[in-house]
Amino acid sequence: MKCPFCNHLDTQVVETRISEDADFIRRRRQCGACEKRFTTYERPEVNFPAVVKKDGRRIEYERSKLQASMNLALRKRPVSTEQVDSAIERIEEKLLNLGAREVPSPRIGELVMRELKKLDKVAYVRFASVYRSFEDIDEFRALVDEVRR
């Protein structure tokens, strides 16, 4: 594995952990040249369904887009990286279990909202307010009231 800091090819695994649900392996590595540490994840390669956007376009599923949107909602919130990774794993597992060749993007949005609601109520409200494109304050208030219950 090439070091992401100095591009040296000699890196050593210093710690290996299996995820809670045993879906991936997390490895801490250290570069033999600059001695910096970095993390890699090992997971099986699977074919996810294509994502059908609201305008009808079909795009490949990208974990990085899902992670970026969740991280944006969770910005400055007390949620660990491991919790986010686990939530993404659960979403991906549900997508695979659908057994469909295509999945509408709103379906993925609903899965994200469900996971965010479990992780952090504030992040859930942030994501939902953008995802559902609220037109006025009453819609926002209804969502907050739903979370309070």
Residue 23: is its pLDDT beyond 90? no
Q: Does the CA dihedral 109-123-23-60 come out positive or negative?
A: positive
Q: Residue 43 gets which letter from DSSP?
A: -
Alpha helices in 2-104 (DSSP H): 63-73, 81-98
Collapsed DSSP state (helix, strand, coil) of residue 14 = strand
Q: Residue 139 pLDDT more than 80? A: no
Tell whether the model's pLDDT for residue 132 goes beyond 80: no
pLDDT at 9: 94
Q: How large is the average pLDDT for residues 77-103?
A: 93
Average pLDDT rounded to a whole number, residues 94-111: 92
User: Hey, where are the domains in the chain?
Assistant: 1-44, 46-148
- Return d(Cα 68, Cα 63) in angstroms, integer: 9
* pTM listed for this prediction: 0.65
Per DSSP, 35 falls in state: -
pLDDT value at position 46?
A: 77
